[in-house]
Amino acid sequence: MFGFGLKDIGIDLGTANTLVYIKGKGIVLREPSVVVKNKKTGDIVAVGSQAKNMMGRTANSIIAIRPMRDGVIADYDTTLTMIKHYLVEASKAVGSKWKSGTVMICVPYGITSVERRAVLNAARGAGAGEAFTIEEPFAAAIGADLPVWEPMGSMVVDIGGGTTEVAVISLGGIVSSESIRVAGDSLDMEITQYIRKTYNVLIGERTAEALKLGIGSARIMEPSERGITMEIRGRDLLTGFPKTLEITSEEIAEAFSESVAAIVAGVKATLEQTPPELSADVMENGIVLTGGGALLKNLDRVISAETSMPVFIADNPLDCVALGTGKALENMDQFRRQLSIK
């Protein structure tokens, strides 16, 4: 299939983005998890960044697909093609080739055996000799340099594109966890729905994401955060014509209220399941946020206020899961018991 000389590859196969880690090289590729296909022929037109740039701008004959939904495979064949593409691109990035070796892929905690098998089969279909999965919150905690092997409680909240993974980890295992299908995509969707309901204007995914990144906030905490505006364009559903709107930071915070409440509820539910001794550790050491959602303004402060615990944003939160996967690859003997080998 492939002729790579590189043998061990870790993949953070996310709903929004895919990162590829090569043992000994680090993270060598990060691309949007998007594929553009010809609807008539089924041929792949574009993958990754090129495909994302085409979202919302495709002709009737082609369609932009995000084959991962809520952290799991929604379109198997397209996901397989996407994985193959990223493995080829990763090999080009380091100027090497890969023999059929080990591929480790991150999955949400608590996925079904069928969903896990689909991920492993996709890895093998892409040329892996050996395929493993590792739970995202465990990988995120490793990538955030939490003491997961020590007899103490470490709490991580990994907010990706499709899921938010909350876990308390001790002695190399997940003690309590919640997987919430609310994350970055939900925030984009809430913006789209808010603007449609409030202004009767339809906007695309790219515009919603731009609002989230530009003026998004989990909650308005300071007077200086009020009145920040951003101009966007959408289609007026009454006239059918383009329309320009000026959206405020307060409106985006209001739109986010349900998703933020769901994330906070997941954190509280995990804490309620945690043994008292480990809860005391979390109280002392704090909660660590990873994933792209960790960068949402004031989310750390909201969770801290709701739980009365210190909350920190990890260094390089976008890379924690991929880096944790890489550390697992670097120490396969140590991590083998924690991996699901199929």
Question: Given this model, what pLDDT does residue 5 score?
Answer: 46
Q: Using the predicted structure, report yes or no on whether residue 2 has a pLDDT greater than 60.
A: no
Mean per-residue pLDDT for 204-214? 93
Structure confidence by residue, pLDDT tens digits, 297-323 = 999 999 999 999 999 999 999 999 999
Do 13 and 91 lie in a common domain? yes
Tell me whether residue 10 is annotated as binding.
no
Residue 97 to residue 95: CA distance in whole angstroms: 7
Q: Are residues 199 and 296 in the same domain?
A: no
Q: Do 190 and 65 belong to one domain?
A: no
Q: Taking residues 139-149, what's their average pLDDT?
A: 93
324 is in an annotated binding site: no
265 and 243 share a domain?
Answer: no
Q: Are 265 and 257 in contact (CB under 8 A)?
A: no
Percent over 90 (pLDDT), the chain: 52
Whether 46 and 128 map to the same domain: the answer is: yes
| 16 carries a ligand binding annotation | yes
Is 291 annotated among the ligand-binding residues? Answer: no
**Which of 159, 180, 179, 154 has its CA nearest to residue 279?**
154
> For position 89, what pLDDT does the model report?
81
- Is there a binding annotation on residue 339? no
pLDDT at 91: 77
DSSP 224: G
Q: What is the pLDDT at residue 3? A: 42
- Is 46 annotated among the ligand-binding residues? no
Q: How many structural domains does the chain have? A: 3
Both 275 and 234 in one domain: the answer is no
pLDDT confidence of residue 6 = 55
Q: Which of 256, 287, 302 is the last residue of a domain?
A: 256
244 among annotated binding-site residues? no
Query: Given this model, what pLDDT does residue 333 score?
Result: 72
Sign of CA dihedral 176, 179, 180, 184: positive
Question: Annotated binding residue at 292?
Answer: yes
DSSP for 114-126, written as a single string: HHHHHHHHHHHHT
Does the pLDDT of residue 268 top 60, yes or no? yes
Q: What is the pLDDT of residues 185-201, one digit of tens each?
A: 999 999 999 999 999 99
State the Cα–Cα distance between residues 310 and 307, nearest whole angstrom.
Answer: 8
User: Binding residue per annotation — 211?
Assistant: yes
Residues of the chain with pLDDT > 70: what percent? Answer: 93
Tell me the average pLDDT across 92-118: 78
Rounded to an integer, what distance in angstroms lies between the CA atom of residue 334 and that of residue 286?
26
pLDDT of 261 higher than 80: yes
Parent domain of 311: 147-182+258-317
Phi-psi region of 280 (alpha: psi -120 to 50; beta: other; left: phi over 0): alpha
Per the prediction, the chain carries an average pLDDT of: 88
Handedness of CA 315, 316, 317, 322 (dihedral sign): negative
The predicted-structure confidence for 13-36, as pLDDT tens digits, reads as follows: 888 889 999 888 889 999 988 898
